[in-house]
């Protein structure tokens, strides 16, 4: 079984923002695989189902981004899943816009949500998909990540999230290396 966590901020105010691409990707996975993510549990919205023949739990923490680890820790404790069976999906300003960075493990980089997850789980040994949202040329980083994509960016991001969904299918099938080789860019 895999736990797949999409990071974002809850509420309509944040829907469609750069910081919520993890939520968007999780919603697309849920729709593509007929999984309803509508149970409130573990400080999150969750849904259980299958991707291929593998059981998955889809998780959207409702704690706000910087406290995502609280929810992830509760989910991992309840399901008693090995850390290598956790996949975290999140936005990344350090990855070029529209690119994916898939890793088996590693640091949080500049992402506070990932930093909180790693701190509370006391491990960084889980796969993650970083979704490049670009970075501000100047100005406030917080404003940048909480802004919405332009029309052109939205179209490109849709293709990026489609590729990320294919990468997740490979990871859930036990082929993290294949996902890295095919989709890192």
- Residue numbers in the known binding site for tRNA are 14, 64, 66, 112
Q: 77 an active-site residue?
A: no
Neighbours of 3 (CB within 10 A): 22
Instruction: State the DSSP H helix or E strand holding residue 28, giving kind and residue range, or none if neither.
Output: helix 21-32
Number of H helices, E strands in the chain: 6, 7
Both structure tokens of 38: 């509508």
Angle at 5 between CA 137 and CA 82, to 5 degrees: 125
Residue numbers in the known binding site are 14, 64, 66, 112
- Closest by CA to 121, choosing from 63, 87, 77, is 77
Q: Which residues pair with 59 in a beta bridge?
A: 5, 46
Among positive and negative, which fits the CA dihedral 80, 86, 91, 94? positive
Catalytic residue positions, numbered: 19
């Amino acid at each position: 079984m895999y736990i797949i966590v999409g990071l974002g901020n809850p509420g309509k105010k944040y829907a469609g923002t750069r910081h919520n691409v993890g939520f968007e990707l999780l919603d697309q996975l849920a729709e593509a695989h007929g999984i309803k993510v509508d149970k409130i549990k573990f400080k999150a919205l969750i849904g259980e189902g299958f991707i291929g023949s593998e059981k998955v739990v889809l998780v959207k923490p409702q704690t706000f981004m910087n406290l995502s680890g609280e929810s992830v820790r509760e989910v991992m404790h309840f399901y008693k899943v090995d850390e290598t069976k956790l996949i975290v999906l999140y936005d990344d300003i350090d990855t070029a816009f529209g690119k994916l960075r898939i890793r088996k493990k590693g640091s949080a980089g500049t992402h506070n949500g990932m930093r909180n997850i790693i701190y509370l789980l006391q491990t960084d040994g889980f796969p993650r998909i970083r979704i490049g949202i670009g970075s501000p040329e100047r100005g406030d980083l917080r404003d940048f990540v909480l802004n919405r994509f332009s029309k052109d960016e939205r179209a490109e991001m849709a293709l990026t999230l489609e590729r990320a969904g294919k990468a997740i299918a490979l990871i859930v099938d036990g082929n993290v290396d294949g996902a890295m080789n095919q989709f890192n860019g």
